[in-house]
Amino acid sequence: MRPLWQIPRDCLFWLLVSVFVSIGLHLEHLPPWVALSGIVAALWQIQLYRERWHQPGRLLKWSLAGACGAGLLLHYGRMTGLEPMVALLFTGYILKLLEIHHRRDALVLLYLSYLIIILQSLFSSTIVASVLVLVALLPVTAALVAMHGATDNSRPTTALRTGLAMILQAIPLMLVMFIVMPRIGSLWAVPQPNSATTGVSDSMSPGDMTQLGRNGAIAFRVEFDGPIPEQNKLYWRGLVFSSFDGRRWQQQAPQSYRDGRFLQWSNQALEAWDKDIIRRGQPLSYRVTLEATNSHWLFALSTPLSPSSSVALSRDFRLVNNEPVVSKLLYPVRSWLDNQLQAESLPGWRHQIELALPAGYNPKTRAIAKQWRAETPDTAAFINRLLGLYNQEFIYTLRPPALGRHTVDEFLWGTKKGFCEFYASSFVFFMRAAGIPARVVVGYQGGERHPSENYLIVRQYDAHAWAEVWIEGRGWLRVDPTAAVAPERIELSFADLFAEQDEFLSESPFSLEHLRHINWLNNLRLKLDSLDYAWAKWVLGYDNIQNDLLLDLLGAIKPQRIALLLLFAGGIALLPVFIMLYLSREKNTRDELDRLFLQYCARLDNIGLPREPGEGPRDFAQRIGQQAPSLTAQVDALTQLYESARYSEVQGDDLKRFKAALKAFKPSRKAFLHGA
């Protein structure tokens, strides 16, 4: 096998370009030191090719492998999950650069490049990401072409053109297979950590929501059948927290609900607790396109119902998917904003759940809540009194101070600075301390309206926490203490309120959201988003599109007709290949001089003097002179004219003379026999 320094230069060039492209595609979710290591390894390989440096020894390579493994473990804290495993594969890919001794090593690296490029699709399926993946395949294919056919004198653009032609030839067949072949589910799920994919987790403590002001990633998009509701009505309910341990709010265990099954599926009979929901007026109809969260919970406006068989309504009136959302999910929803939830009564066991507080926490708040309750027995007035406290002295900020053991006491009577989770948590604690059932709800609030399309963009920084209190005769009511402190957060949007602060989008420094005040850039951002949303809808709704298309093409979806369509479509897809082969054959056909020479040979063959396979013109002429001396002069003259026409720089005159001499050359079998 050839060592690396004998591999063509343009092959090495495209191989290294492939490495840099692979690093660029995964730069966002790789530890910075991994990407930097890849660049260093590529530069080392360049120096090896130039014979400036030596191959690293076995001890060094094993040391680097151990250091990379330890670095990944320290960075992620685990080696399970999508990102750690991709990073582990990437480190092996990079280290392979340091041990390319043979051509097969370079081939392994190129095959790994294909795999790593395709792995980008696990992190993003946007139209931009899909185009980037296709473009990234080009240098890898060019390197593969150069590996099998290039020389040191060939140019890199030659392999690039051939690689591009191969990809273009493959695209029609790829499209045919995409249209015709049925889509099946993944053979395995790809787990991802919640913190990496969604702003709403299954618990909440002070400071959790604050971090989301730095993240501008899209959480979901919503397309309405009618007008989009007002901003202050857009509360996207995700999780309900009824359990509090003194610092962290969590969901109540489903088995603690005693009045039927916790989940009600659309294709099953209604649960007994469904009668507790009073829905009034016309529902809002909309479709949510949710980004991957690796969680079961979905987001919707109040009192939602979904016709999807994979979506259920939970006992605490939110939507749940039947499996974790590991990729984009499109689900239809109807919501009744005018509603009542459990207005008639709350069972004793539910009172116990929604009033529970841990012992030994926040004694000052407990005492003041009881005092206020004695002074203000009316529940609505009591709630308004607490909201008035928030309105007078508190500050809504992305930079709240840290809190100690008694989080509610320190916040309400000390710092008085916090984000939405500070207000929701303290409000619910205060209500419970006063004997009023209450709970925390988390999700998203508001969203950005697309000016030319009827859909809403909800981002991670729109994550929000609010409260629900239960009042006899009225049921569960939403109370948002944040609205008492910063009403503009609810009436306008998070971005409008915090756009000028340094913490806003600090985790997304390259986001076009930073430039939304520049009209043309903001319009470009929205145009790109609408294009990406259209792509997502097409991909997610492709099953129905595929079914309709096949019905139009086939009349009925039967295996025989699909097979015929595959054969026909495959032939159409391969038509460019056949055309290129035909054109290539035409280029290789003989020129006029060769055709004339074959006529000359045919005339001699007709009189019993065939040309032997592999016999050159001059050898053929000498043999003719021996077997038919009477033809010697004519044959020698024709041979000289042919060689002159074939090898002279100016072929025109010699070709004419050869053509004229051939026209006069009419050998006969009699001359051959006489000569013999």
Q: Enter the DSSP assignment of 270.
A: P
Q: What is the DSSP letter of 607?
A: T
- 131 vs 546, higher pLDDT: 131
Bridge partners for 259 per DSSP: none
Q: Where are the alpha helices (DSSP H) in 398-499?
A: 407-410, 420-433, 481-485, 487-491, 494-498
pLDDT at 586 over 60: no
Q: Is 337 in contact with 233 (CB distance < 8 Å)?
A: yes
pLDDT tens for 391-409 read: 988 998 888 888 889 999 9
Q: How far apart are CA 659 and CA 651, in angstroms?
A: 12
Determine the pLDDT at residue 466: 95
> Beta strand 475-479 with 249-250: parallel, antiparallel or unpaired?
unpaired
Of 184-193, 312-321, 459-468, 583-592, where does mean pLDDT reach its minimum?
184-193
Q: What are the distances in angstroms from CA 613 to CA 40, 194, 589, 620, 632? A: 57, 74, 19, 10, 21
> Contact 607/667 with Cβ under 8 angstroms?
yes
> Cα(214)–Cα(217) distance, rounded to whole angstroms?
9
pLDDT at 3 over 70: no
Catalytic entry in 208, 316, 420, 654: 420
Closest-CA residue to 668 (of 617, 604, 616) = 604
Closest CA to 457 of 127, 181, 206, 228: 228
pLDDT reported for residue 549 = 55
Question: Beta strand 311-314 with 319-321: parallel, antiparallel or unpaired?
Answer: antiparallel
Distance between CA 259 and CA 245 in Å, rounded?
25
Mean pLDDT, residues 376-403: 91
The rounded distance, in Å, linking the Cα atoms of 37 and 44 is 10
Q: What is the pLDDT of residue 343?
A: 79
Summarize pLDDT for 190-249 with one digit per residue, the tens.
Answer: 444 443 345 688 889 888 887 777 778 889 999 999 899 999 999 999 999 999 999 899
Catalytic choice (26, 406, 450, 464)? 464
Strands of the 218-224 sheet, one edge to the other: 304-305, 329-335, 284-290, 218-224, 455-459, 448-449
Instruction: Exactly one of 276, 316, 480, 654 is catalytic; name it.
Output: 480
Radius of gyration of the chain (CA): 38
- Res. 572 pLDDT band, cuts 50 70 90: low
The question of whether 674 is a catalytic residue gets the answer no
> Residue 411: CA atoms inside 13 Å, Cβ hemisphere, count?
30
> Which residue in 655, 500, 536, 668 sits closest to 129, CA to CA?
536
Task: Give 655 or 229, the one with higher predicted confidence.
Answer: 229
pLDDT digits (tens, 9 = 90+) for 292-302: 888 999 999 99
pLDDT digits (tens, 9 = 90+) for 41-97: 888 877 777 767 777 777 887 888 888 888 888 888 887 777 888 888 888 888 888
Sorting pLDDT into bands at 50, 70 and 90, what band is 180?
low
Among the residue ranges 4-8, 334-338, 423-427, the one predicted with the least confidence is 4-8
Closest CA to 96 of 120, 137, 138, 68: 68
What are the distances in angstroms from CA 221 to CA 252, 540, 572? 28, 13, 38
- Is residue 29 flagged as an active site residue? no
Residue 368 has pLDDT above 90, yes or no: yes
What is the domain partition of the chain in residue ranges? 4-153, 197-515, 544-587, 592-675
Q: Which residue has the tokens 């209604």?
A: 270
**Active-site residue 420, yes or no?**
yes
Q: Report whether pLDDT(435) > 90.
A: yes
Of the ranges 165-169, 385-389, 574-578, which one carries the lowest mean pLDDT score? Answer: 574-578
Record the pTM: 0.69
| Residue 674 pLDDT | 55
Structure confidence by residue, pLDDT tens digits, 97-144: 888 777 788 888 889 999 989 888 777 777 788 888 889 999 999 988
pLDDT at 197: 41
Averaged confidence pLDDT in the chain: 82
- What pLDDT does 363 receive? 94
pLDDT, mean of residues 639-647: 86
What are the pLDDT digits (tens) for 589-642?
Answer: 457 888 888 899 999 888 888 888 888 899 999 998 888 888 888 999 999 988
**Tokens 């916790």 correspond to what residue?**
262
Strands (E) located in 228-349: 235-241, 243-244, 249-250, 263-265, 277-279, 284-290, 304-305, 311-314, 319-321, 329-335, 339-341
Average pLDDT over residues 323-344: 88
Element (H, E) at 522: helix 519-540
Q: What pLDDT shows up at residue 437?
A: 96
Contact 96, 105 (CB under 8 A): yes
Q: How far apart are CA 595 and CA 600, in angstroms?
A: 9
What is the crossing angle of helices 32-49 and 9-25, to 10°? Answer: 180
pLDDT for res 250: 94
Q: What is the tens place of the pLDDT at every residue in 299-316?
A: 999 999 999 888 999 988
